[in-house]
Chain A
Amino acid sequence: MTAEILSLTVNGTKVQVLYDGVENLLEILRDKLDLTGAKEGCGYGACGSCTVVVNGKAELACVVKGRARLEGADVLTIEGVAQNGVLHPIQRAFVDAGAVQCGFCTPGFVLRLHALYAAKPDATDDEIRAALQKHLCRCTGYETIWEAALLAKRYLVEGP
């Protein structure tokens, strides 16, 4: 196993990391770049807690592997969402709707919606449902997460 250099853009900053060819994106973010906002809940893409935005698409970081997918990738993590200490409208919606309990799943949900609304600001309820369906939350019963998703859509247009 030989280490090689991998170049990525993370939260708008170009970074280079040593890459052993085996690591997945979640390991790179957490272990090499100290970006621990993406969480490992299962390690096989079932829970959505590790979701980040890669080249504009929401991806499960724990299953994003291989130089072909990683080299040059433009990654947005939860650490890059709030600007200058001001919450992004989606984050504000999660706080206001009371959609945050233990918080372990929260960054994944926020980034899933970030990618969805960036591509489709007028996403339909069915499209929002399909996006949220990819995530597990064990605390809220999803009611407040659903409300936060609708509130976020409104905040993105009208402001929080």
Chain B
Amino acid sequence: MPFQYIGRSYERNDAFAKVTGEAKFLADLEFPRTLHLQVLRAEHAHARILSIDTSEALACEGVRAVLTGRQCDTLYGACLFKDVTALAVDRVRQAGEGVAAVIADSIRQAKAAVTKIKVVYEVLPVLVDPKVAAEDTTNLIHPDLGSYFHLPGYLPEPGSNINHHYKLRKGDLAKGKAEAEVVVEAAFDFPLSAHSALEPHGCVARWEGTDRVEIWATTQAPFVLQEVIGGIYGIPHANVRVHVAYLGGGFGGKSDVTVEPMVVAAARLVPGRYVRFVCSRKEVMTSTCLGRGMTGWGRMGARKDGTFTFFEAKMWFASGSSADTEANVVTVAGHNSVGPYAIDHAWVDAMGVYTNTPPTGAYRGYGHPEGCLVSERLIDLLARKLEMSPLDLRRKNFLSEGKTNSLGETIRAYNGNLHECLAKVEADLYATPLPPNDDVYLYGRGVAAMMKSPKGAAHAGSSCHMKFCHDGSVLVNLSGIDMGQGAQQAMRQIAAEALKIPPERISVYREVDTQHSPWEWQTVASMFTYRGGNAVVKTAERLVATLKDNAAQVLKVSVDSLDYDGAFVFHKTDPDLKVAVPALVRGYMGEHGLTVGTVAEATAADRLPYYMEPHPETGMGHAGGTWTYGAQGAEVRVHRTTGRVDILHFVSALDVGQVISPQMIRGQIVGGVFMGIGQSITEKIEIGPDGKITNAMWNRYRVPRLSDMPAKQTVHCVETPEIRGPFGARCVAEHPMVAVSATVLNALRDATGHDFNHVPVRPDDVLAALGGDR
């Protein structure tokens, strides 16, 4: 189907403001007579708070108030696992957790006063390894786990540190094992890493009295924040107004509720005043949230012809001090670890385990890269044992029409074409012979496939409001947060296509504000193009229907004889009988100003079509009805004496349904792949035995730079239209990162002959593996 505005690259609607510095991010906003907040953070990873003395801090120059945990002890949970408070109450569970907050006239005064707060701790034993913490029933990080409110889909084990135990029980594991002629197994490690969005987390809050608060936050989830704050204070959620300015990257790290409840609680001590807090980079890395943190084990079996007979895995996730988001990470890691394959017998245990580390939250693709590493590495082991091509082995078992995935859902042709994705990767990656090893370098290639389900919530939805202006230009209002991915430009092009009006005449309302913006669940799980786009299309249909109704009254013909082309509503059989759109947008004004018809404004919404919580015993069910499939491949080069890994060529083929903007989608995929390369070969949060992070600085935590770029990245967008997606599109934001680590490790096996089953693989790991024969 030919499109006018879909599938073409335009200048992004936010590009001008961003290259000129005119775009205002949270820290750039100015408020009158602002007070500043600074935080005293726990110096121990696990300790009882015996006493806090704030008297000296309160006496410091410029100090207005000091907040401690007992003043804000309501448990909350953005994902409805209520196990966290705005500041630590009587116990700290991670080094960096907030213990007290000072409000002062200036940042310097607040910082100085923080040092005057005296806390007496009784240090407790520290748990960092989730596997160890899962077995420890004497040192409980949350002794009250059994009393916490949580949604029924979370399955905690009170009396232990296990906050969620997801079980996948598909088929009959014993039967699958009996059928297997070849079996492989391995242990895996996917440590904690930091999102490292360039913009730090921050929040500004101002109370009017005690039942109304206005908040500016660096959040991907303003409506969730509204619910959390409203819930904590027992005030109408309508009295909580959340604004989101330009957001400088998110990657999931800003979908969790982090610093906001603390700032809001502190601001309540000084009603009428704006209280501002922006994290230092160290605070972002030690106290907001981290991602990944999986230790696991997997086993897989196949017949001699390569048919997979069973998949079995156990994964322990370091939840950190709060289980709230992590429980969802655990669930999706569990059922997605099986990969895009038809396997009749799958048995997975995925556990979220409290550890004395920062809360683990959503991080681009959460749970998927971790699970993907397990199955995609095992498949490479199987291929070698079966003496089959790893590509053919995958192809033999790929999900396709009529087969069932791990959740028991039947796959349809429109869900995407894995075979085509892998064929594209193969054609590019193997187009030339692999360079032969030489005195300096070893060369290798590897592939991996991926799937991603839209982990959401049963009600996860997006709403849209649209109105015509007097001149026929259009205002589109949504609450999907543009954190750099181009969400608003994508919506602009979808609206243009649906309304047949050029994108230049469509303005997507820039700021999101819970008071004026339509409801959005949250901008996560790569679902906004799908849900928001559908909401735009539905809203546009209503607007066009109004224009036609108005025109029918003017032209005195029946509505069904009218058509619309963006500029006019006209008669189908006599196109000269027409009314210009601007004349219809607020009703039609006829002779002597007499106006007929209605105002062209509309709203509509969309949600995941088929989502339900997994069955508590089998872990099966419906994940939402839309997936994105893909395959990736890498050619790598390993330096024999330095151990340095270079990515020479990285190929991605994702079935995106329909490209909205070629330039933006390539930007998403290339950026996502590179983030995946970072987590595969350079990035790791280092934690000492005392639970303290030793590299919470960008000088020590190695976010990749320009020199780490792959020599070449190839991107293919396969377009199997999504049956329910806007103009056939499906989502792609997190997907480029899902299979990167598995791909790189498979290529490293090819290059070095060594099976790496952990990330990151750094030069020392390579040198140790090469051992004597380098």
Residue positions of A touching B, CB distance < 8 A: 30, 34-44, 46-47, 49, 77-79, 81-82, 87, 91, 94-96, 98, 100-107, 110, 129, 132-133, 135-146
Q: B22 contacts which chain A residues (CB < 8 A)?
A: 37
A98-B9, A110-B19, A133-B707 known; A140+B671 contact, CB < 8 A: yes
Contact status B664-A87, CB under 8 Å: no
Q: B200 contacts which chain A residues (CB < 8 A)?
A: 40-41
Q: A78 contacts which chain B residues (CB < 8 A)?
A: 19-21
Closest residue of B by beta carbon distance from A92: B19
- Which residue of B667, B673, B713 is within 8 Å of A101 (Cβ)? B667
CB distance from A74 to the nearest CB of B (A): 18
* Complex CA distance for A112 and B15, rounded to whole angstroms: 18
Closest residue of B by beta carbon distance from A146: B706
Q: B695 contacts which chain A residues (CB < 8 A)?
A: none
* Complex CA distance for A81 and B249, rounded to whole angstroms: 24
CB distance from B210 to the nearest CB of A (A): 31
Mark interface residues in B452-486 (1 if CB within 8 Å of A CB, else 0): 00000000000000000000000000000001111
Known pairs A138-B197, A143-B674; list 6 more (Cβ under 8 Å). A37-B21, A98-B9, A98-B12, A103-B484, A138-B196, A143-B670
A102-B248, A137-B198 known; A132+B671 contact, CB < 8 A: no
Q: Is B11 an interface residue (CB 8 A)?
A: yes
Q: B703 contacts which chain A residues (CB < 8 A)?
A: 136, 138
Contact status A106-B19, CB under 8 Å: yes
Mark interface residues in B160-175 (1 if CB within 8 Å of A CB, else 0): 0000000000000000
A102-B248, A142-B674, A143-B709 known; A41+B484 contact, CB < 8 A: no
Q: A44 contacts which chain B residues (CB < 8 A)?
A: 281, 697-699
* Complex CA distance for A35 and B22, rounded to whole angstroms: 9
- Which residue of A30, A77, A110, A141 is within 8 Å of B713 (Cβ)? A141
- 10 nearest A-B pairs in the assembled complex, by CB-CB distance: A37-B21, A102-B484, A103-B18, A141-B674, A104-B248, A78-B21, A36-B28, A101-B484, A46-B698, A104-B198
Contact status B713-A143, CB under 8 Å: yes
* Complex CA distance for A38 and B30, rounded to whole angstroms: 15
Contact status A141-B20, CB under 8 Å: no
CB distance from A149 to the nearest CB of B (A): 10
A47-B698, A102-B248, A136-B698 known; A81+B281 contact, CB < 8 A: no
- Which residue of B23, B278, B671 is within 8 Å of A139 (Cβ)? B671
Contact status A46-B699, CB under 8 Å: yes
Contact status B698-A139, CB under 8 Å: no
A49-B198, A138-B675 known; A106+B18 contact, CB < 8 A: yes
Contact status A141-B709, CB under 8 Å: yes
- Which residue of B20, B663, B664 is within 8 Å of A82 (Cβ)? B20
Q: Is B199 an interface residue (CB 8 A)?
A: yes
- Which residue of A46, A47, A129, A138 is within 8 Å of B251 (Cβ)? A138
Contact status B713-A129, CB under 8 Å: no
Q: B663 contacts which chain A residues (CB < 8 A)?
A: 98
Contact status A87-B281, CB under 8 Å: no
User: Mind listing 30 A-B residue pairs with CB under 8 Å?
Assistant: A36-B24, A41-B200, A44-B697, A77-B21, A78-B21, A79-B21, A87-B16, A98-B664, A101-B671, A102-B199, A102-B246, A102-B247, A102-B248, A103-B23, A103-B484, A110-B19, A136-B198, A138-B196, A138-B197, A138-B675, A139-B249, A140-B670, A140-B671, A140-B674, A141-B713, A142-B709, A143-B670, A143-B674, A144-B667, A146-B709
Contact status A100-B19, CB under 8 Å: yes
- Which residue of B11, B27, B246, B699 is within 8 Å of A103 (Cβ)? B246
Mark interface residues in B189-204 (1 if CB within 8 Å of A CB, else 0): 0000001111110000
Contact status A104-B674, CB under 8 Å: no
CB distance from B754 to the nearest CB of A (A): 27
- Which residue of A42, A133, A139 is within 8 Å of B705 (Cβ)? A133
* Complex CA distance for A129 and B667, rounded to whole angstroms: 20
Q: Is B598 an interface residue (CB 8 A)?
A: no
Contact status B199-A41, CB under 8 Å: yes
Closest residue of A by beta carbon distance from B669: A141
Contact status B483-A91, CB under 8 Å: no
A39-B198, A100-B12 known; A81+B20 contact, CB < 8 A: yes
Q: B297 contacts which chain A residues (CB < 8 A)?
A: none
* Complex CA distance for A144 and B247, rounded to whole angstroms: 20
Q: B27 contacts which chain A residues (CB < 8 A)?
A: 36, 39-40
Q: A145 contacts which chain B residues (CB < 8 A)?
A: 706
* Complex CA distance for A27 and B248, rounded to whole angstroms: 19
Q: B706 contacts which chain A residues (CB < 8 A)?
A: 129, 132-133, 135, 142, 145-146
* Complex CA distance for A42 and B200, rounded to whole angstroms: 8
Mark interface residues in B683-711 (1 if CB within 8 Å of A CB, else 0): 00000000000000111000101110100
Classify chain B's interface size: 35 or more
Closest residue of B by beta carbon distance from A79: B21
- Interchain Cβ contacts within 8 Å, total number: 162
Question: By CB atoms of chain B within 10 A, which of A46, A101, A140 has the most?
Answer: A101
* Complex CA distance for A158 and B709, rounded to whole angstroms: 28
Question: By CB atoms of chain B within 10 A, which of A46, A135, A145 has the most?
Answer: A46
* Complex CA distance for A146 and B709, rounded to whole angstroms: 10
A136-B705, A141-B671 known; A91+B20 contact, CB < 8 A: yes
CB distance from B13 to the nearest CB of A (A): 11
Closest residue of B by beta carbon distance from A49: B198
Contact status A102-B249, CB under 8 Å: yes
Q: Is B14 an interface residue (CB 8 A)?
A: yes
* Complex CA distance for A58 and B690, rounded to whole angstroms: 40
Closest residue of A by beta carbon distance from B486: A101
- Which residue of B281, B483, B709 is within 8 Å of A42 (Cβ)? B281
Q: Is B280 an interface residue (CB 8 A)?
A: yes
* Complex CA distance for A133 and B703, rounded to whole angstroms: 12
Closest residue of A by beta carbon distance from B20: A82
CB distance from A66 to the nearest CB of B (A): 17
A39-B248, A140-B671 known; A100+B14 contact, CB < 8 A: yes
* Complex CA distance for A138 and B17, rounded to whole angstroms: 19
* Complex CA distance for A37 and B25, rounded to whole angstroms: 9
Closest residue of B by beta carbon distance from A142: B706
Question: By CB atoms of chain B within 10 A, which of A87, A98, A102 has the most?
Answer: A102
Q: A94 contacts which chain B residues (CB < 8 A)?
A: 15, 19
Contact status A141-B249, CB under 8 Å: no
CB distance from A150 to the nearest CB of B (A): 13
* Complex CA distance for A138 and B698, rounded to whole angstroms: 12
A133-B706, A141-B675 known; A107+B21 contact, CB < 8 A: yes
* Complex CA distance for A100 and B9, rounded to whole angstroms: 14
Contact status B19-A91, CB under 8 Å: yes
Mark interface residues in B659-681 (1 if CB within 8 Å of A CB, else 0): 00001101100111111000000
CB distance from B120 to the nearest CB of A (A): 31
CB distance from A151 to the nearest CB of B (A): 13
CB distance from B10 to the nearest CB of A (A): 10
Contact status B667-A98, CB under 8 Å: yes
Q: B248 contacts which chain A residues (CB < 8 A)?
A: 39, 102-104
- Which residue of B251, B486, B670 is within 8 Å of A141 (Cβ)? B670
Q: A47 contacts which chain B residues (CB < 8 A)?
A: 198, 698
Contact status B697-A104, CB under 8 Å: no
Q: A79 contacts which chain B residues (CB < 8 A)?
A: 20-21
Closest residue of A by beta carbon distance from B707: A133
CB distance from B365 to the nearest CB of A (A): 15
Q: B195 contacts which chain A residues (CB < 8 A)?
A: 138
Q: B280 contacts which chain A residues (CB < 8 A)?
A: 43
Q: A96 contacts which chain B residues (CB < 8 A)?
A: 11
* Complex CA distance for A133 and B23, rounded to whole angstroms: 24
Closest residue of A by beta carbon distance from B667: A98
